[in-house]
Amino acid sequence: MWTTVLGEPISMPVGIAPTIGSAALHEDAEATFGRAASRAKTLMVLSSVGDLPIETFVKKVPQDGLYWAQTYLFRDRRNTLHIVRNAERAGFKAIVVTVDSPVEHKSVGSKNGPTRRYLDILFRTPVANIRFMDGQEREFSKEGTTLAELWADGAACHKESFCFANWDELAWLKSQTKLAIVLKGVVSADSARQAASFGVAGILVSAHGGRQLDGVPAPLDVLPEIVHAVKDTNVEIYMDGGVRTGNDVLKALALGARAVFIGRPALYGLAYNEEEGVDQVLNILKEELSITMALCGCSTISEVDRSIVKHETEFHPKL
């Protein structure tokens, strides 16, 4: 069951993805995820727009855990560097750059949207790692702030987060750190090849939980073409989105992913039973994966290959 990501050993090919707003479920949600991942001997990716400052996070999780830091290429580069420098000091192993959100989908936070009530919750330090807005250092309100205020059209946080990330900005980031860079949000072979040419260490095939662009292909469907596009490089491929069972994990591995990441399942576990609930989710996925591998005749991760999966279209009758 053990494998590696960027040379670091993990007990199972399942990590915890970056998520926003988890403090609505638990005030120390990100630290809870970090501790659960550490106990499971896997990795966790800390969100740059989460609700726990990165400096606080590192004080609340085991120092020998495996953590990556997610960031956007913010308009104000000081925000990106704040995350990168703290990640370097804390011993994080990679920077995950999300590149699929140059603008916000209009359904997010709309008056009639499903997230409206969630956005009206008062957070103590919402999007805590964005430290500069409109060119000024940010001051946190003692009373807290709602996400609705921060993400309103034209608001400073909204303008700072949703910005066009081009390849020049990625080259700048690469010049600023020696940490490995993983590109998150790639769903095409062309983008994968270009990312590989820039020297990224990994690609996280992701559709942003399916909430940015309606009709975008499922990550599992585009995974094979992306794996093929970089097959002659050392770039590692990961996937998130739609992973709910160990069976789902095995499908992704068989199609070429080195590991998968879970977002909503970790949140569900947290909502169900706090930190122990996150432990349960990881343990369930690990057990299900082990059973599914055994039923497919695989005793190790290295034995998992594409021969054990077929796309459903292969079983449709030809008319």
- For the question of residue 311 being annotated catalytic, the response is no
d(CA 78, CA 133): 10
Angle 29-39/264-295 helices, nearest 10 degrees?
A: 20
Q: Pick from 234, 250, 253, 290: which is nearest to 11 by CA? A: 290
Q: Are 183 and 94 in contact (CB under 8 A)?
A: no
- Return the C-alpha torsion angle 283, 217, 207, 287, nearest 10: 0
> Which of the residues 208, 228, 311, 316 is marked catalytic?
208
Q: Active-site residue numbers? A: 208
